């Protein structure tokens, strides 16, 4: 199975900050990587797929980059509604695997 790691595991940020989260895969994924946002008690929400394609309806302050084994999610000008946990997911091969998550809080 492909192992996904994320860093940091948590971070503290303020409104207006730029936040960067890193996701690393144990083997190459090409661009078969997605990012999800999850708020407490809620289902995950798709933000980005194919490493850098913004899902319809997602604000443009979210962006993704990377390919192969190293990927980045960037949130520009953090808003109050962005405080949440973020997960990366590889869909290159089965079993599908998720990163352990990065919690973004105040």
Give residues in contact with other proteins (CB under 8 A): 34, 36, 38, 42-46, 49-50, 55, 87, 89, 91, 94-101
- The answer to whether the CB of 65 falls within 8 A of the CB of 51 is yes
Report the distance separating Cα 71 and Cα 29, nearest Å.
Answer: 10
| CB closer to other proteins out of 16 and 57 | 57
CB closer to other proteins out of 17 and 50: 50
Three-state SS for 75-87 is ECCCCHHHCEEEE
Shortest approach of other proteins to residue 14 CB, angstroms?
26
Report strand pairing: 10-12 vs 62-67: unpaired
Nearer to other proteins, 18 or 26 (CB): 26
d(CA 106, CA 91): 31
Is the CB of 13 or the CB of 50 nearer to other proteins?
50
């Amino acid at each position: 199975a492909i192992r996904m790691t994320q860093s940091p595991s948590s971070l503290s940020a303020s409104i207006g900050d730029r936040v960067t989260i890193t996701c690393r895969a144990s083997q190459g994924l090409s661009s078969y990587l997605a990012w999800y946002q999850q708020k407490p008690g809620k289902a995950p929400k798709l933000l980005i797929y194919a490493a850098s394609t913004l899902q319809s309806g997602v604000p443009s302050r979210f962006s993704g980059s990377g390919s192969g084994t190293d990927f980045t999610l960037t949130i520009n000008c953090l808003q109050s509604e962005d405080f949440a946990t973020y997960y990366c997911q590889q869909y290159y091969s089965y079993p599908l695997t998720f990163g352990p998550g990065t919690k973004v809080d105040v």
